[in-house]
Chains A and B, each alone.
Chain A
Amino acid sequence: MIIPSRYRREIPGTQPDLLHAPYVSTVLRSPQRPLVPLEHSLSELTGSVYGHELVGPNDHDLTAQHAGQPLGQRITVYGRVQDENGHAVPETLIELWQANSAGRYIHKNDQRDVPLDPNFTGTGRTLTDKNGFYRFVTIRPGAYPWRNHYNAWRPAHIHFSLLGPSFLSRLVTQMYFPGDPLLPLDPIFNSIPDEKARNRLISHYTPEFDTPGQALSYRFDITLRGPLETPMEV
């Protein structure tokens, strides 16, 4: 495989700005000088094949990692990972983490007075298949309050982390749920200027893919950055 000479650049409005004042923590954590343009070399166009050996048999099923079932609404989250050319991204690692159904993370710094669930860790990983598809079984996370502004609550969300084939294809994002009344109020979700781009972070409920009587299905497709392609000659 010959690696591409360069990748497409970011499409304005489709990615959040580094400074988004309504999300207060960005105010001191965003650079003030302009980013320096970098021409893509092998340093950016190559990437790590990371984590394949980390994936265990129950890692994609967050409801099967303990002796008992976690509390909450069981769901499956699935979708396709593709690049900007529409090509599947096969055999790439997806790492995922989330709060439990009460809206609490297992993290030591989350000491909120709602229960942890002894049957739920809230972390998962899987590889996409040869067609770029992935599937997790989990429970719907709860919303939780945070200190950004008065009575601020994060909408229910699941964190996704993907490396993709190169240093440039790295993506960390969050998946949301359709119809969540907290979405219009959330400064993190609303940090993406382009409405269509923003709404692509909302998963779709797909009853035709439910496991009847077992779990609701949500589809979340992911597009990673990809190389410029010369159009095929006809």
Chain B
Amino acid sequence: MPIPTSSQTVGPFFHDCLIREGENILVRASEHSQGIRIVGRVLDGAGEPVTDALLELWQAGPDGVYPGYDAAGNRSTATADFCGFGRAATDAEGKYLFETLKPGRVPAAEGGLQAPHINVAVMARGMLKRLVTRIYFDDEPATLNDPVLARVPGRQARASLIAQRQDDATVPSYCFDVVLQGENETVFFDV
């Protein structure tokens, strides 16, 4: 059996290749009833901003269906308006921004449904392989009963996966920081 090729760091010089204008704006949040904005920072173990991180999103649409698939998860030939995939680089303050649609609930591995969430991959110089995390939402009742969150030990650790709704925004906005290391470390998944 062939063995998967080893990962190496994305390094600090990926932008000219991997970052194209607008790929952090999956939809214009203000133009859709389900439009949301997600902002946050990536921080290292010293609390310093990580200014050269790459974040990638993969998510279902508001109908709980992954773009390019049907509801059961089979490949679909139907063309989707919403691509469900986005990329953002952090800026000089370690900040990133996405505009997208609020995802719906998708099936869980053990049956039933998961709470709305966005799958996130984080890469940067100093990271030899990507880290995988999830963005859940604090204003979704299903978040309380999500089967994946339920297996994350510790209240603070679970809280690290839940984006906080911001009050003062024109479109629904959520804050989600990624802390790579330390006391407030974000939960990362072994996938």
Kindly report which residue of chain B lies nearest to residue A220, judged by CB atoms.
Answer: B5
Interface residues of A in 12-60 (CB under 8 A from B): 14-18, 20, 23-50, 54
Q: CB-CB < 8 A to A10: which residues of B?
A: 4
Q: CB-CB < 8 A to B8: which residues of A?
A: 16, 159, 172-174, 188-189, 191, 201
A105 and B8 alpha carbons, distance in the complex (Å): 18
Contacts A32-B181, A48-B85, A159-B11; A200 near B16 (Cβ below 8 A)? no
Asked if A91 lies at the interface with its beta carbon under 8 angstroms from chain B, I say no
Asked if A222 lies at the interface with its beta carbon under 8 angstroms from chain B, I say yes
A16 and B120 alpha carbons, distance in the complex (Å): 20
Asked if A67 lies at the interface with its beta carbon under 8 angstroms from chain B, I say no
Asked if B190 lies at the interface with its beta carbon under 8 angstroms from chain A, I say yes
A105 and B134 alpha carbons, distance in the complex (Å): 33
Q: CB-CB < 8 A to A16: which residues of B?
A: 6-8, 128-129
Chain A interface residue count, Cβ-Cβ cutoff 8 angstroms = 81
Q: CB-CB < 8 A to A54: which residues of B?
A: 20
Q: Interface residues of B: mostly helix, strand, loop or mixed?
A: loop
**B67→A48 contact, CB < 8 A:** yes
Q: What is the distance, in angstroms, from A54's C-beta to the closest C-beta of chain B?
A: 7
**Which residue from A26, A33, A173, A201 sits with its C-beta under 8 Å from B187?**
A33
Kindly report which residue of chain A lies nearest to residue B179, judged by CB atoms.
Answer: A31
A174 and B185 alpha carbons, distance in the complex (Å): 28
Q: Interface residues of A: mostly helix, strand, loop or mixed?
A: loop
**Which residue from B1, B114, B129 sits with its C-beta under 8 Å from A18?**
B129
Asked if A135 lies at the interface with its beta carbon under 8 angstroms from chain B, I say no
**Which residue from A48, A106, A168, A197 sits with its C-beta under 8 Å from B6?**
A197
Contacts A86-B1, A224-B5; A36 near B114 (Cβ below 8 A)? no
A201 and B187 alpha carbons, distance in the complex (Å): 30
Q: CB-CB < 8 A to A23: which residues of B?
A: 9, 126, 128
A183 and B108 alpha carbons, distance in the complex (Å): 44
Contacts A28-B180, A85-B1, A86-B2; A42 near B127 (Cβ below 8 A)? no
Asked if A70 lies at the interface with its beta carbon under 8 angstroms from chain B, I say no
